[in-house]
């Protein structure tokens, strides 16, 4: 099982992301050790390396990370050039052009709040990347075991079809010896029925494999071969550990908490809307020579320093911004509570399905399948000796086929439930 822990190590690391992770310029890379994982491990590794959805999520994070730097920067300065069509005559000469430079300066704390908002937004996208990855792990593992189940079902169907075909020459000899033709017709109908089921299973395998190839990011590749897999061992750890891990390790909850931090910064910024902003600037006027060149200061270019302040007089609008920010924060808090309840409910339902599947495996393995196989051997011998009918043989083959198929269905359900719980809990794998 250690291979499965390695298979989820990257997802777990992402789900446990701290505030400092939003400071990173790159996201964690896939651990090469994951490729040694059995059954779903190699498929998950390939998907994590080539999935377009992960690429898109990573680019969104990097874009948000880049926004942190300019979020706390001063606004761009402005420049204005005025040309007087008719010069303004002054004592020192005609004024021809005016140049004005101005730099806005927000109230103390506004830039910090904007930067904190951008940082928290980047952190939420960091956790969104983790969630995208875990969702991909869940999808791929589910598809892998669905495909693995179909491989087993097809193999069982082919095996039973072979056994029925082996009976056909025996019945044909009996018909030639004078037995009724109905037994041969019934057997041929049953063989045709098995062949039809086998064809439908092969078609379903083709469609399932196509979906898996899309999740792996494959555009064209050889068909996915038959998957070699086994029935999972009984779970020795308490499944409640998955429930305990969800509140602290789920990337969905971490994402919402990061948004909550971002909303805190927005709320602080909204409360500062009633504070004025400042501006400083320089005004330069280009002046020509005076008509009387003896005038003191003739042709001198005057310049001035400017200081401005905004007037946040619309208190109702500014208070509305603060009220909006407060309500949005309350909404996020409610969403966190709702998401946690939904995740725990999904986990409890999946644990119930897991326990049911494990119990079914135990029943099939120790009781139902041994009895059904023993019954087949007895019925085949009885039919060859004339003590059983072909209907008895066919019914027994159907029962055994159904039991063997349900056995591997329960095994696939168990694996799928374990991976589901692992991804719900942020990468927690239990033995």
Residues 115 and 156 in one domain: yes
Asked whether residue 359 is assigned to any structural domain, the reply reads yes
Whether residue 398 sits in one domain with residue 372: yes
Q: Can you give the CATH number for the domain in which 95 is found?
A: 2.20.200
Sorted by sequence, the CB contacts under 8 Å of residue 270 that are 6+ apart come out as 321, 322, 324, 325
Give the C-alpha separation, 112 to 316, whole Å.
Answer: 24
The first and second tokens of residue 316, run together, are 């109702």
Same domain flag for 228 and 341: yes
pLDDT band, very low/low/confident/very high, at 34 (cuts 50, 70, 90): very low
Same-domain check for residues 390 and 365: yes
Q: Of 15-19, 173-177, 183-187, 191-195, give the lowest mean pLDDT range.
A: 15-19
Residue, of 294 and 258, whose pLDDT is higher = 258
Question: With bands split at pLDDT 50, 70 and 90, how would you rate the model's confidence at 106?
Answer: very high
pLDDT tens digits, residue range 348-403?
Answer: 999 999 999 999 999 999 999 999 989 888 887 887 777 777 778 788 888 888 89
Same domain, yes or no, for 239 and 334?
Answer: yes
Q: Does pLDDT of 33 surpass 60?
A: no
pLDDT tens digits for range 263-313 = 888 888 888 888 899 999 999 988 888 777 667 777 688 889 999 999 888
Q: How confident is the model at residue 11 (pLDDT cuts 50, 70, 90)?
A: very low
**Per the domain annotation, does 371 fall within a domain?**
yes
Confidence check: pLDDT of 171 > 50: yes
> What strands lie across the sheet with 78-90, from one edge to the other?
78-90, 93-105, 278-287, 303-309
Question: Do residues 153 and 405 make contact, with C-beta atoms less than 8 angstroms apart?
Answer: yes
281 and 337 housed in the same domain: no
Q: What is the pLDDT of residue 313?
A: 83
In contact, 111 and 265? CB cutoff 8 Å? no
160: closest CA among 409, 399, 414?
399
122 and 139, same domain (yes or no):
yes
97 part of a folded domain: yes
Q: Are residues 376 and 302 in the same domain?
A: no
For residue 164, the domain's CATH number is 1.20.1600.10
Please state whether the predicted TM-score (pTM) of the whole model is above 0.85. no
Q: Is residue 67 part of a domain?
A: yes
Percent of the chain with pLDDT strictly greater than 70: 90
- pLDDT the model gives residue 2: 42
355: closest CA among 419, 404, 407, 414? 414
pLDDT class of 408 with cuts at 50, 70, 90: very high
Same domain for 25 and 118?
yes
Decide if 430 is inside a domain: no
| Whether residue 96 sits in one domain with residue 177 | no
Query: Do 47 and 148 lie in a common domain?
Result: yes
Q: Residue 429 falls within a domain, yes or no? A: no
Give the range of the structural domain holding residue 300, as residue numbers without chain letter. Answer: 76-105+276-311
Q: Is the distance from CB of 426 to CB of 12 less than 8 angstroms?
A: yes
Q: Which residues contact 120 (CB under 8 A, 6 or more apart)?
A: 22, 258, 259, 261, 262, 264, 265
Number of structural domains the chain divides into: 2
At which of 311, 336, 368 does a domain end? 311
For residue 430, what pLDDT band results from cuts at 50, 70 and 90? low
Q: Which residue has the higher pLDDT, 413 or 93?
A: 413
Instruction: Determine the pLDDT at residue 38.
Output: 58
* Residue, of 412 and 236, whose pLDDT is higher: 412
Cα separation of 313 and 352, whole Å? Answer: 60
pLDDT given at position 42: 87
What are the tokens at 280? 């400083």
Q: Is residue 356 part of a domain?
A: yes
Distance CA 14, CA 323 (A): 34
Residue 227 in any domain: the answer is: yes
Does one domain contain both 241 and 365?
Answer: yes
Backbone phi, psi, residue 114, to 5° = -65, -40
């Amino acid at each position: 099982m250690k291979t499965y822990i390695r298979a989820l190590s990257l997802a777990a690391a992402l789900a446990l992301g701290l505030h400092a992770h939003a400071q990173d310029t790159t996201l964690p890379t896939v651990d090469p050790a994951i490729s040694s994982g059995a059954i779903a491990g190699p498929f998950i590794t390939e998907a994590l390396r080539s999935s377009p959805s992960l690429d898109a999520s990573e680019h969104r994070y990097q874009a948000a990370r880049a926004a942190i730097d300019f979020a706390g920067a001063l606004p761009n300065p402005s420049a204005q050039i005025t040309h007087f069509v008719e010069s303004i005559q002054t004592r020192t000469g005609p004024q021809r052009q005016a140049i004005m430079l101005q730099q806005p300066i927000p109230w103390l704390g506004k830039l910090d709040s904007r930067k904190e908002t951008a940082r928290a937004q980047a952190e939420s996208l960091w956790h969104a990347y983790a969630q995208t990855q875990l969702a991909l792990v869940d999808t791929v593992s589910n598809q892998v075991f669905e495909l693995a189940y179909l491989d087993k079902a097809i193999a069982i169907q082919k095996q039973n079809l072979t056994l029925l075909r082996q009976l056909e020459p025996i019945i044909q000899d009996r018909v030639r010896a004078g037995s009724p033709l109905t037994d041969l017709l019934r057997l041929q109908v049953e063989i045709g029925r098995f062949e039809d089921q086998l064809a439908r299973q092969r078609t379903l395998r083709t469609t399932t494999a196509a979906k898996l190839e899309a999740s792996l990011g494959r555009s064209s590749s050889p068909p996915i071969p038959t998957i070699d897999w086994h029935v999972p061992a009984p779970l020795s750890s308490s499944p409640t550990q998955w429930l305990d891990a969800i509140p602290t390790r789920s990337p969905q909850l971490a994402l919402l908490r990061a948004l909550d931090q971002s909303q805190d910064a927005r709320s602080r910024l909204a409360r500062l809307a009633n504070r004025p902003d400042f501006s400083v600037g320089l005004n330069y006027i280009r002046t020509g020579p005076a008509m009387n060149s003896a005038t003191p200061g003739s042709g001198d270019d005057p310049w001035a320093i400017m200081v401005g302040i905004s007037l946040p007089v619309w208190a109702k609008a500014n208070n509305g911004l603060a009220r909006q920010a407060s309500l949005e924060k309350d909404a996020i808090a409610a969403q966190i509570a709702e998401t946690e309840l939904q995740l725990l409910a999904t986990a409890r339902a999946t644990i119930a399905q897991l326990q049911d599947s494990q119990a079914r495996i135990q029943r099939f393995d120790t009781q139902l399948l041994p009895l059904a196989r023993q019954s087949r051997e007895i019925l085949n011998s009885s039919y060859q000796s004339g003590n059983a009918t072909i209907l008895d043989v066919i019914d027994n083959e159907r029962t055994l086929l159904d039991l063997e198929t349900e056995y591997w269905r329960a095994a696939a359900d168990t694996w799928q439930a374990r991976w589901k719980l692992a991804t719900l809990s942020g990468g927690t794998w239990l033995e």
